[in-house]
Amino acid sequence: MHRLRPSPLKAIAVATALSLAGCAAVGPNYQRPDIQAPVAFKEAQGEWVRAVPADTLERGPWWTLFKDPDLDGLAPQVEVSNQNIAAAVAAYAQARALVAQQRALLFPLVTLDGSASRAGAGGGKTPARNSYQFSIGGSWEPDLWGQLARGVEGARAAQQASQAELEAARLSSQGELAIDYFNLRELDAQQALQLQTIEGYVRSLRITQNRYNSGIAARTDVLQAQTQLANAQADLLGLERQRAALEHAIAVLIGKAPADFGLPVRPAWQGVVPDIPLDVPSTLLQRRPDVAAAERRVAQANEQIGIAQSAFFPSLRLSGSAGLGAATVGDLFSASALAWSLGASLAQTIFDAGARGARVESARASLDQSAARYRQTVLTAFQDVEDQLVAARILQQQLVLREEAAQAANLVEQQVLNRYQAGQVSFTEVITAQITAQNARRAVAQALSDRQVAAVALIQALGGGWRGL
């Protein structure tokens, strides 16, 4: 009469059946937090929809909207050489490795051991003996309660969040480069205007000197003209310092030492501001990588609840081994040298003074915290878009007015200088007119740069432009 197999085999069979049957994982299933989204834009004509992270959408080279060859050459270098992006790439690779590490826990662990030894006693009375061992073993913890599966899902959510953070770092660095570049070009325009202003002040000084030499003007007119010229020359040096600092910042952004990088001055630079459609679709907001990262962190926190709750249930561990042992290598592979074992262990915590319950409550609080951060990130995204939409509209109107003011100020400057030469006004009025004209011209250059910076900020607020959907 055949005897029944040992009870561990039954445990293995039962555990395998339960695992293959796919027992329901404990813990809540993930649901994206609700968001109270406004019905429509305040500063445009499109309609908002609920933000659903779509960070994998292709953004394309958004900087080409500005039609600047120098910027087109610089922006791609950020992705290749910027060290902040390199760090984000490494963090993403680490997150991917953690997913593989968590997934490996779902499979059995198999080990292989072999040894050889020779032992004997002193004096040679007992002959030395050889011993050879060879064994293979394995262990497996079936994921009965979904703890390991939730660990894999949590790691995958962390990987996706890391990928989104990589995109955020890339977009941030590219946007910073574009803003620094436009500010540098605005300084080029400011320097050109300042040189023109200095030329005008030199002419004014010559006129006042001639009038003073002729006994028509007082020496105070000459001193005022000299003061004005010296201040203008000092301001030009200040612009050069600011430009150098921006050039250094651009070098670092593209991964170069400032000593190895330079941008030629473009005094006649006229920036292009891309047309921003009034009906920018709100679905573009879904491409914001910070929104995607925040949402994935919520999913990751949700999985931790199930992992914590699984501690309330027993854990099952299966093990088995087969080995060979003999005094000679020839006897090692005989049937009599074989030894095997199968085992199963079941463990359950009975009392832990509420530690498991506290861990579950901690995981729930972490989920609430992540959900709140996600909602705040989405609200901030709405705010960013609204801010930049109104900035784009207002700055466009301001540029028109600044240009009108500059034209009028230039005419006033010339007329007042002519009247001074005719002895009709004092030199103080000439100084006032010249300063007003200088400020008006610089305001035009600043307004154009502000429009470009606002366009870059809007592109960043929309997660990488308004193209591609």
Q: Which residue has the higher pLDDT, 46 or 292?
A: 292
- pLDDT tens-digit readout, 41-77: 455 544 444 444 445 444 578 898 888 999 999 999 9
CATH of the domain at 249: 1.20.1600.10
**Residue 437 φ then ψ, to 5°:** -65, -40
Tell me, what's the pLDDT at 1? Answer: 38
Query: Does 6 reside within a domain?
Result: no
Query: Does 469 reside within a domain?
Result: no
Query: Does 326 reside within a domain?
Result: no
Q: Which of 103-112, 327-336, 353-362 has the lowest mean pLDDT?
A: 327-336
Query: Does 8 reside within a domain?
Result: no
Q: Which residue has the higher pLDDT, 58 or 258?
A: 258
User: How would residue 22 be classed by pLDDT, with cut points 50, 70 and 90?
Assistant: very low
Tell me, what's the pLDDT at 335? Answer: 62
Query: Does 305 reside within a domain?
Result: yes
Q: Which of 51-60, 224-233, 329-338, 459-468 has the lowest mean pLDDT?
A: 51-60
Q: What's the structural domain count of the chain?
A: 1
Query: Does 324 reside within a domain?
Result: no
- pLDDT tens-digit readout, 159-196: 888 888 888 888 889 999 999 999 999 999 999 999 98
Query: Does 322 reside within a domain?
Result: no
Query: Does 433 reside within a domain?
Result: yes
Across the range 365-382, mean pLDDT stands at 90
Please state whether the predicted TM-score (pTM) of the whole model is above 0.85: no
205: containing domain: 27-107+143-314+357-461
CA distance 193 to 187: 10
- pLDDT tens-digit readout, 302-338: 999 988 888 888 888 888 888 777 767 666 666 666 7
User: How would residue 93 be classed by pLDDT, with cut points 50, 70 and 90?
Assistant: confident
